[in-house]
Structure 1
């Protein structure tokens, strides 16, 4: 990564804490060495007749097709679901906080709205499935939501953790480091025993 100027500004631990870990495609570094993939770092770019003009480059990069890999702005999508200015103003909270979702699903002030899939984890398909089961239990009357104040307090505790281990990316609401604990919370809400082994030592040291 250092050879090809790919070392990010954030640490490896911060990448784990914010779900920024990525897997490179097969033969990625080999293709970089042979020149079939060329990396260009730039804060800005623009288009011209020949292709793309990258900041810091003396000549444009000739291109027939440009693919934008810009990521997903889930907080904007949540906000844009509402026409009410009030709901738009509270849906995702200020930029200095995490998106306020209790159990990463329910907005305390908009409990009729469930958002599944905004926050990320180590295994997003599994996490989305257990959230779906949790929501089904809630709708079916299997348990009740706590008070707005209690939900907001719980969200604040998660936010403190995320900000402790991430300087910038806490808004992504990554639960990767607390994946098992989070699942245990959902199980307890649904009345399921989160303990899957026969002893406390097995819970602490055996593989899942």
Structure 2
């Protein structure tokens, strides 16, 4: 359980504004500076916080995954970039495919693939063709996280009506992105290469084939 000192700065701002209002009550009343209780501002701050936590999680996941690539020799590394001229938008990139995560509108975090790919994100609502490729309507139906303000002015994020956390979202989408952008390398050795890969994977888990 996080303590007060572990909260992001934007989540501590209310107490500082409240203290300033105590010191200058008349000025605060005239200028209406105490906006930390404004639902619109709360959502805006929560959006930046959520995106920031998502990016940090994606970046850490990419760092760990890329450590196994041996500098790109074993597989293409996943890159995470900030989107210029935005407070916290970012994108994930590999093999000419982008996963863009952005604040598309007030209270909306949009997650969308920016290119035609072999597979599709395994989330309800996506449209697939017979060969399992993502078709144009699927791209237009991007997946959105929606902010909701609770009874005590707490902001939480939902997907299809269910409350979600940055950890849940980043784990799911990072896994799906890695899966659909994975190199489909084929070898003349065929089945022998597959057997060798299975053996190596089992050995890493302490098992033998």
Higher strand share: 2
TM, length-normalised to structure 2: 0.27
TM-score in terms of structure 1 length: 0.27
